[in-house]
Chain A
Amino acid sequence: MSDIEKVFQKLKAQGDGALIGYVTGGDPEPRFTPVIAEALVKGGVDILEVGIPFSDPIADGPTIQAASVRALEAGTVPKMVLGMAGEIKRECGVPVVILTYFNPVFRMGLENFFRLASNCGVDGVVVPDLPVEEADDYCKAAGACGVYTIFLAAPSTSMERLRKIVGCTSGFLYLVSHFGVTGARESLEDSTVQLIKRVLPYTAGQVPLAVGFGVSKPEHVKCIIQSGADGVIVGSAFVKIVNRHQENASRMLEEIEKAACELKEASKRLG
């Protein structure tokens, strides 16, 4: 059984949901990423998602766009982020997934990318601009290296496509909560709950279901887990804290840990 599966199984047995925390690799500088990850895990994050910054992040809102700019300006390159993922995995002992747009992977070459990812101990990869139709070679290369392919589903995904997506997905299915880009939101849309209920029958017994995009508050987490999802993904809410306290690292880490802790509490179903 893989590390990701172990995490979901253990939490399920306790009746809890998984908290997946995102950090942009190299933001605001490469040396920050491992300590931010550590703070997230201390606060209760179960799985870490580390982003490779990209020049043209079309699925991201202003918060993660700005983080990508900072990371690129600080000289962050994809190989460096894979190395960070390896370090985080060793130090924190939680599963690590990489989030990247497709071009950096394509540029490195699929085999090279997955070989390196696998050597670093990366558990899975999410590529927001790679639909399953374009992913045959990608899935083969990932499979050959034992790295999970985490695909996304969205409110506009037809049930027919959903079946296909679940078939290609390993680790967990990443469900996009609403029409839009990433970014912290005040409230969860009612349609998100309905969406989760619509998707659950397709993932049940196949892969865990995690919900992301716009999830930033404990009440969002509670609502999503109560709707039956296996996990939540929180990104921009953490990245905002990084941005706000760039000049004061200890304050940044303190607040990240606190935010993670509150979100983790909310993910405990019987808590």
Chain B
Amino acid sequence: MKALSSYPIDGKFGKYGGRFVPEVLMAGVKELDDAYGQAKQDPTFCKELAYYLSEYAGRPTPLFYAENLTRKLDGAKIYLKREDLAHGGAHKINNTLGQALLAKRMGKKRVIAETGAGQHGVATAIACAALGLNAEVYMGTEDMKRQRLNVFRMKLLGAEVHPVESGSKTLKDSINEALRDWVTNLQTTYYLIGSVVGPHPYPTIVRDFQSVIGRELKEQIIQKEKRLPDALVACVGGGSNAIGTFYPFEDCPEVKFFGVEAAGEGIESNKHAASLGAGAEGVFHGMLTYVLQDNEGQIQNTHSISAGLDYPGVGPEHSFLKTLQRAVYVTATDEEAANAFQILSKEEGIIPALEPSHALAFAMKLARKMKRQEIIVVTLSGRGDKDVEVVADFLGVKI
């Protein structure tokens, strides 16, 4: 078998991935594949991206040793990769800057995107404002209600927000609507997808742009500890911050990977978003991957306290890593995430987003079982300001 980092091969991670899209879009994904293939070889493009990542997005983000939390748990050392400190408050900007530069290079002035919690929509609006592109964001009306603040932020940033009324009115439906827009406006429009999902080459493009997380942390941990970490822990919805964290370590077998999915109210309650944990192989949003579906192949609705993990599919590379047992996928419930959210706030003075609170919840259990000289790195994919209202509500606190 080839080195893991050399995948995808022909657009596939093993059998996962591929291009299951309407015929109209085949020309679009091919055009994108060609343009990206050229861009990543072009020193000017790479230099421009590096410039925006450092001067505009504030990279590199710190790798912070969470000493208080480590002391409290009395187990492995816990480091936090602080993506919450990137511009916009999440890792999403790594990808949107990369793809917006690609859109510009391809001569597409109109950029469309989908958003669930609004973080990717905001990051798209930011990148488009910075690069002089027009952003239009599809968002389910259910999510618009839950994340009013982000809707207004997108508008402030100059983006147009299209409410999506179809289906469950959440993330999966806004992807459906963005795909329908792309089918209609293929020639003029760039579809800026927000996670490592969709038809090839999107899972690869988004992974490559997010890999800056893992590359930086590799350098930082070697500098601080003179060795690689024992475990990497990241949350998985579509899975972009997790793949960005794991990818530069895929061929370092001594580094264990843990992806944490949302168990919502518990797997047995059927109100969760654990595609890898409780789903089955299926074809959805252009890719063959693990999908939450019923016996007839209809896609199921999901539930999570964190809108960013509320998605019934998962990036095909995660399905591949699961099948190979290179990564272990576990879950954390709404309640566990809300607890971790409070613990990190109190112990370290860092309010994490609810998405990485799932990763933290698992990392805290893991640390207790590991030795003191061992090292865990948790990717703190975003900050929690957006979630304060949701957590207060969950705890029954009026603010």
Q: Which residues of A contact B (CB under 8 A)?
A: 54-59, 61-62, 65, 69, 72, 77-78, 102-108, 128-131, 133-134, 151-158, 161, 165, 176, 179-181
Contact = CB atoms under 8 A, between A and B. Distances in A.
B179 A104 contact: no
B190 to A, nearest CB: 15
A78 to B, nearest CB: 6
B65 interface: no
B27 interface: yes
A55 B299 contact: yes
A180 B298 contact: no
B331 interface: no
B293 A152 contact: no
A151 B26 CA distance: 13
A56 B19 contact: no
Contact of A131 (B26, B167, B280, B281): B26
Interface residues of B, number: 38
B187 A107 contact: no
A153 B282 contact: no
Contact of B283 (A57, A59, A129, A180): A129
A140 B232 CA distance: 43
**Chain B interface SS verdict (over half):** mixed
A134 B297 CA distance: 18
B299 A130 contact: no
A69 B299 CA distance: 12
Contact of B184 (A151, A153, A180): A180
Nearest to A151: B23
B19 A134 contact: yes
B177 to A, nearest CB: 9
B180 interface: yes
Contacts of A152: 22-23
A59 B282 contact: no
Contacts of A104: 296-298
B23 A179 contact: no
A156 B282 contact: no
B249 to A, nearest CB: 30
Contacts of A61: 180
Given A154-B23, A157-B27, A179 B183 contact: yes
B21 interface: yes
Interface in B1-58: 18-28
A136 B226 CA distance: 50
A130 B226 CA distance: 49
A107 B183 CA distance: 25
B386 interface: no
19 contacts: A56-B173, A58-B179, A104-B297, A106-B283, A106-B297, A128-B23, A129-B20, A129-B21, A129-B286, A131-B21, A131-B23, A133-B26, A152-B23, A154-B22, A156-B25, A176-B22, A179-B183, A179-B184, A180-B183
Given A59-B22, A103-B282, A107-B280, 12 more contacts: A56-B172, A58-B22, A59-B183, A72-B298, A104-B296, A104-B297, A106-B282, A134-B18, A153-B23, A154-B22, A157-B23, A179-B183
B19 A133 contact: yes
Interface of B: 18-28, 166-167, 172-173, 176, 179-180, 183-187, 280-286, 288, 291, 293, 295-299
A268 to B, nearest CB: 29
Contacts of A54: 297-298
Considering residues B23, B296, B297, which has the most beta carbons from chain A within 10 angstroms of its beta carbon? B23
B166 to A, nearest CB: 6
A82 B23 CA distance: 25
Contacts of A72: 298
A179 B180 CA distance: 10
Contact of B297 (A57, A78, A130, A156): A78
Contact of B22 (A56, A69, A107, A129): A129
A133 B179 CA distance: 20
B167 A107 contact: no
Contacts of B187: 179
Given A103-B282, A176-B23, A181 B184 contact: yes
5 interchain residue pairs of minimum CB distance: A107-B297, A156-B27, A104-B297, A154-B24, A180-B184
A155 B27 CA distance: 10
Contact of B24 (A56, A130, A179): A179
B8 to A, nearest CB: 14
A61 to B, nearest CB: 8
Contacts of B284: 56, 103
A17 B296 CA distance: 36
B76 to A, nearest CB: 41
A193 B167 CA distance: 35
Contacts of A69: 167
B22 A128 contact: yes
Contacts of A161: 26
Contacts of B172: 56
A209 to B, nearest CB: 14
A52 to B, nearest CB: 9
B296 A78 contact: yes
A96 to B, nearest CB: 20
Contact of A179 (B166, B167, B185, B283): B185
Contacts of B18: 133-134
B297 A108 contact: yes
B173 to A, nearest CB: 8
Contacts of B291: 103
A108 B281 CA distance: 12
Contacts of A133: 18-19, 26
B185 to A, nearest CB: 7
Nearest to A66: B166
A181 B298 contact: no
Nearest to B20: A129
Contacts of A105: 297
